[in-house]
Amino acid sequence: MRSRFRALRRLLRSLFVVAAAVALAAAAAATRVAADSARPAWSVAVAVGSGAPGTPQRPRSRPFVVTVSMRSRGNTLESPLARLSIAAAGIVISPRARPACPADVLRAGIAEAQQRCSRSLVGFVEARAMVGPKGASRRVPQVSSCDLAGEVYAAGRSLAVQLYTGALYGRRCLRSMFAVAYASVRATKVGGLPASELRWVVPSEPGGFRHPLPDYDLNLDFLELNLPLGFGRNSADRSKPVVSSVGCERRRRRSVRAVFLQEDGTRATLRREARC
């Protein structure tokens, strides 16, 4: 009798353990699904001109294109993007290779910057976004698309981006907006190679890009930063490239690291590989 009781107790204990494991697995799966469904899917791609990768002693000038995109999983507007940082192994960006465009000129408008800072121009930006009430479905009439454009200028240790949209600038959007964003350039390492990290703070009020209207959000879907081939033109760095390729990882690949921070605190970190 005692042996049967012990056997029954062992059986009950094993059944309890199995049931607990199943419950924990189900809870973890539910948590994972909930977290995944609440978080947008970010993607990042980096394209660098082909050729010898170069070295820190003999850098090679290269065109450099960064593309980021976001897809909301619930087909609703997400919390606006507040910060974005991107770095690629073996890529060094030198804003000081071009003369800096003064902040007051950048904020004076597009025509003023084009006239007075043509030697500071280093690239271009294209972006697409959705504008509407926070959390609204993309299918409702209150949500509309917004096309943005901009020029990228050298600004000392940073890159300055003039962003504009709306009928005033010939870009489709529910209202005209103009703002200047600054992407700081910081020396770092990715995959053991020298790299430059671009840290971009997306303009909010009073620039109005994250919140173009009261109670409205701007949901960034796509952004392309293009820094074409170019050398410095000031007297100190006449032969220095704006973008340099200074190395390549094994298998002729380079690691790419990106961090997205939304206004509600949601953070996503991506690591990708690109051809060298």
* pTM across the whole model: 0.82
Cβ proximity of 144 and 151 under 8 Å: no
Q: CA nearest 55: which of 237, 240, 244?
A: 244
Mean pLDDT of 252-266: 93
More confident residue, 72 or 113: 113
- Domain residues of the chain, as ranges? 1-38, 39-275
Residue 17 has pLDDT above 70, yes or no: no
Q: Which residues contact 178 (CB under 8 A, 6 or more apart)?
A: 109, 110, 162, 163, 164, 169, 207
Q: Sign (positive/negative) of CA torsion 4, 9, 15, 21?
A: negative
- pLDDT tens-place string over residues 31-85: 333 344 456 889 999 999 888 888 888 888 999 999 999 988 788 898 899 999 9
Task: Say whether pLDDT at 8 is over 70.
Answer: no
Q: What is the DSSP secondary-structure string of 168-183?
A: GGTB-SSS-EEEEEEE
Of the candidates 97, 90, 147, the one whose C-alpha atom is nearest the C-alpha of residue 122 is: 97
For 155-198, the pLDDT digits (tens) are: 999 999 999 999 999 999 998 999 999 999 999 999 899 999 99
Instruction: Return the DSSP state at 74.
Output: T
Q: Is the pLDDT of residue 19 over 50?
A: no
Longest dimension (CA), the chain: 99
pLDDT at 29 over 60: no
pLDDT in tens, 241-253: 899 999 988 888 8
